Amino acid sequence: MTTRIVWHPACRLHQAGAGHPERPERIATVLEALRAPELAPYLAWTEAVPADRAALERVHPAPYLDALTALAGRGGGALDPDTYLGARSWEAALASAGVAIGAVDAALARQGTGEGRRGSGGGTAFGATRPPGHHALGARAMGFCFLNNVAVAARHAQHCGCARVLIVDWDVHHGNGTQAIVAADPSVRYVSMHQYPWYPGTGAEDERGVGNVFNVPRPPGLPRAVYVRDLLAAVDAATGGWRPDLLLISAGFDSLAGDPLGGFTLEPEDMAFWTRALRERIGTAPVAAVLEGGYRLDLLAAGVRAVVRALA
């Protein structure tokens, strides 16, 4: 089975400022890792189209998008202490959201071709998104994020006919933006495992939305098997009697042991195990993963390779 890698060269253009951990080398490292010769037989590559206004406005209100466009036109500026829009960052953000949309399109296009088998999942894709997105609220940039890529992807999938979307987020930081965007919508279920208490301070277990939010807040330093077990238990709770039409993964690799922005103990093979286990749980539904965090380049490369191998 071939996994589609969706990317766009403009994702390199975002400059967050000297010394910022969300640096262009991240996406260069991801693409280099995926071009390893041993992966070539299992991957196909697609260059995305930047997201259009209609796709963005399913998540982000027009005045917010207008404000970012205007700020970019003035050469950029700081949106919060961690989030800086550089001269070409808006171009990168539009490309990143387009990559997430393209990953959904690639996964959905493979469904029904006969290539997927129950238990191994339907079509699969990995979106090399940068800048990341899961902290972006509907009308506020924060936490390195301008547009909520996974929420834009979910709304696009629903526009294409997927009635129920499951989002699983294993970034070490809680996806507060994703949760806020979908918390009142029972057609989307959101599962997040994250370090707690930690940035951004949200993601307590009692934050349930309309019963569609399943947070797994955990302290740093636990045995890796505990994290692996507890995320899958939350997915089982979220999908009991509820079969998604699409799985979206907010794939953050800052939850790997040794990342400078987190304290979890996970290894790349744990994320590969999660990926295979999630596919078994959702049957033949397509799967699209999008890149979130991950700030030590060697760990990022190893984690991405492991997840993409498991998708393929």
Tell me if residue 135 is catalytic.
Answer: yes
Which neighbouring-strand residues pair with 205? none
Paired sense of beta strands 77-80 and 83-85, if any: antiparallel
Residue 125 contacts by C-beta under 8 Å, 6 or more apart in sequence?
3, 4, 5, 6, 102, 103, 104, 106, 107, 286, 287, 288, 289, 311
Active-site residue (options: 14, 60, 134, 135): 135
Tokens representing 245? 């039409």
C-alpha 32/C-alpha 125 separation (Å) is 17
Cα–Cα separations (whole angstroms), residue 200 to 115, 135, 177, 295, 308: 40, 8, 10, 17, 28
**Residue 137 CB contacts under 8 Å (≥ 6 apart), including other chains:** 148, 176, 177, 180, 181
Rounded alpha-carbon distances, angstroms, from residue 197 to 67, 200, 204, 208, 260: 32, 8, 9, 17, 16
Beta bridge partners of 145: 142
| Number of C-beta neighbours around residue 19 at 10 A | 6
Closest CA to 232 of 173, 176, 281: 281
Catalytic residues: 135
